[in-house]
Amino acid sequence: MRLVTAVGAGVGALAAFALTRRPSYDFDGRVVLITGGSRGLGLVMARELVHKHRGRVVLVARTAEALDRAARDLDRPDAVHTITGDVRSAADAERIVQNAAARFGRLDVLINNAGVIVGAPFGDTTDEDFRNSLAVHFWGVLHMTRAALPYLPRPDGRIVNICSIGGKLAVPHLAAYCAGKFAQAGLSSVMAEELAAEGVTVSTVYPGLMRTGSYVNAQFRGQVSREFAAFALASSLPGISMGAERAAAQILRGVRAGRHQIVIPWTIRQTARMAELAPNIASSLFATVNAILPGQADIQSPAVKGAELSLPAPIAMAATLGTRAAERNNEMGG
């Protein structure tokens, strides 16, 4: 009887897999719009798409100079188009999408990758930090998605929302960032459920720390030098962070497979599962991490960009891989 039950369960699982399995998606010739595409993970994904998948990319960022450097890096004028714009503006989102579709005659994939980070204790995080995080991570995704939907093909349209493990787990000293990412994760999950009926596949990506060099352009409040050092170190060490190229490859592989949730790497996936099963234990562990981090500053001060700060020599040496990633991924130019 047990054998029959086991076999039945196995057959049921295989049937469910067969029903939900989707054919692999091909980026060859597709037009992919990437917000926050001038540097970091956005630029790394653009390299992968253009040079390995023969796709065409539209890179969006607020700074023309950064976009020009990214275009030179990709070195494919026929397959790369850049647009300056701010995803926080619904009007800009409409203009961006119309420009992209006009340039290549189509739009197949939207990757909502634009992001902002403020590293600070909760007490040093301002209302403006929270507003800006929600403006980029929530409203920016909503504006770009609404603008892009009329152009995406059916049934092969793709929307990829680059969220963060900070959209599943509350990470100390990233209060504004996590608030924006939790909102983004909720929006993206609902989009995945509803837009599937229209033939648009939505993938929500939850990466852990990546070696993109993003700490250079992050902002910090409180004891800024110590906040910067902690973030740079965590974003650079193997075992804690993953290589940006590996992350980009895994993300695009998950998108091609039509996965609704992509949690990377494996260690982060298991951490997220543990937190779901034992939320109180996870909360206690993060409280321990918080106790190690710098405390609140005595005097409120303006946010300071990572590029304006320097690392102590031992931390700088330990963060070598992060510094190299920042140089390679156009983070140093501002």
Most distant CA pair in the chain: distance in Å?
70
CA–CA gap between residue 126 and residue 301 (Å, rounded) = 10
Confidence of residue 18 (pLDDT cuts 50, 70, 90): very low
pTM attached to this predicted model: 0.91
Domain extent listing, the chain: 26-328
227-272: pLDDT as tens digits? 999 999 999 999 999 999 999 999 999 999 999 999 999 999 999 9
Is the model's pLDDT at 184 over the cut of 50?
yes
Known active-site residue 25: no
CA–CA gap between residue 330 and residue 47 (Å, rounded) = 12
Phi and psi dihedrals of 115, rounded to 5? Answer: -155, 160
Is the model's pLDDT at 314 over the cut of 50?
yes
Q: Which residues contact 324 (CB under 8 A, 6 or more apart)?
A: 213
Cα distances (angstroms) measured from residue 333 to each of 133, 217, 258? 22, 9, 35
191-215: pLDDT as tens digits? 999 999 999 999 999 999 999 999 9
CA–CA gap between residue 120 and residue 104 (Å, rounded) = 42
CA–CA gap between residue 334 and residue 319 (Å, rounded) = 19
Q: Which of 25, 177, 206, 215 is catalytic?
A: 177
Retrieve residue 65's tokens.
């100079």
Annotation: CATH topology of 26-328: Rossmann fold (3.40.50)
Q: How many helices (H) and strands (E) does the chain have?
A: 13, 12
